[in-house]
Amino acid sequence: MSATTVEDLPGLNCGLCGVRTCAELAARLPTQPGLLARCIHLSDEGVAAEGTGPAIPVVRRPIPLPQAGMPRASWTDTLGREFDFYLEHFPEDPGPREIILPHNPMLTRELDVQVGEVLIGRPLGMSCGCPITHCGVAVDVDKRNGVIVWCVTGPLNPRQKGYKDLGYYIAEGYEGLITESRTDPKIGMRYYFQPRMCMLQWRHSGLVNYLNRVPQGWQVRLEGLWIG
């Protein structure tokens, strides 16, 4: 459909397209064909292609995760336990992004932790109970409540650059990408998952409380973490 004359337009002069009259709209169509998509009275069919498209994204209901890439996943950890998806870190981050809280939250202030500093500590007890001491780089620090967001890196950083020792911390949440999954993740559900960079390749479990469709798969945040 290519309405270009005033006869093709509804003639209601409603102004809802942003142009005062249908005649004025028709006069502008030869140079601005995208305006036609703004007429609320015309069908979308054949009109959308001529539209300039919105600058602000219009978000529709989430689309299901494509199941591509699944064959290379085994879906069991090193202890033979099943899990639902791999958690990858954001490509621009130096490592997996964790939200952590020192066992004494005041430590964040006492150590004067700054963004970019190298930290070490072990996720003690509840929330993970991992036997491995982790090293990472702080990317966000909230001194009001002690919460630190860091990206876990290898031990090379602290050796080369020095570090601040948190001692023990609680892993409060993970953020990352799901690019391989054998299920459609749903917000509010608890899943077994495998952090791709976990040294022990043990499955973890956590509650999905943020989920967003992205070109690589899903952007996800998991809280209420446990190992196993």
Partner 1 sequence: MRLIYFDHSATTPLDPRVRAAMEPLLADVFGNPSSLHTAGREARAAVDRARSQVAELLHAGPGEIVFVAGGTEADNLAIIGALSASGPPSGHLVVSAIEHPAVLATCEHLRRSGVAVTEVPPDADGILDPAAVAEAIRPDTRLISVMAANNVVGTLQPIAAIGAIARGHGVLFHTDAVQALGKVPIDVSTMHIDLLSMSAHKLHGPKGIGALFVRKGVALAPIVHGGGQERGLRSATENVAGIAGFGCAAAIASDGMASEATRLVALRDRILDTLASALPHAYLIGHRYKRLPGHICLGIAGYEGETIKLLLALDEAGIAVSTGSACSAHHAGEPSSILLAMGFDPIRARGSLRITLGRFNTDAEVDRFLELLPRAVAALRPLAHQAQLERSLC
Looking at the DSSP bridge assignments, the partners of residue 150 are 98, 138
Q: Which two tokens stand for residue 121?
A: 């500590």
CB 102 within 8 A of CB 108: yes
Closer residue to partner 1, CB minimum distance, 140 or 165? 140
Q: How far apart are CA 205 and CA 96, in angstroms?
A: 16
Closer residue to partner 1, CB minimum distance, 18 or 162? 18
Query: Would you mind telling me the total number of residues written for the chain in this entry?
Result: 228
Q: Interface with partner 1 by CB under 8 A: which residues?
A: 12-21, 37-40, 54-62, 90, 92, 97, 139-140, 149, 175, 186-188, 209-215, 219, 221
CB 73 within 8 A of CB 82: no
Closer residue to partner 1, CB minimum distance, 59 or 68? 59
Least distance to partner 1, CB of residue 195, Å: 17
Closer residue to partner 1, CB minimum distance, 39 or 130? 39
Quick one: which of 163, 59, 79 has its CA closest to 117?
A: 163
CB 118 within 8 A of CB 161: yes
Closer residue to partner 1, CB minimum distance, 108 or 202? 108
Q: How far apart are CA 5 and CA 29, in angstroms?
A: 8
Quick one: which of 62, 83, 60, 59 has its CA closest to 73?
A: 83
Closer residue to partner 1, CB minimum distance, 15 or 131? 15
Torsion on CA atoms 135, 141, 146, 149, rounded to nearest 10: -50
Least distance to partner 1, CB of residue 162, Å: 26
Centre a 10 Å sphere on the Cβ of residue 135 and count the other Cβ atoms it contains. 20
Least distance to partner 1, CB of residue 173, Å: 9
Least distance to partner 1, CB of residue 200, Å: 25
Least distance to partner 1, CB of residue 41, Å: 9
Least distance to partner 1, CB of residue 125, Å: 25
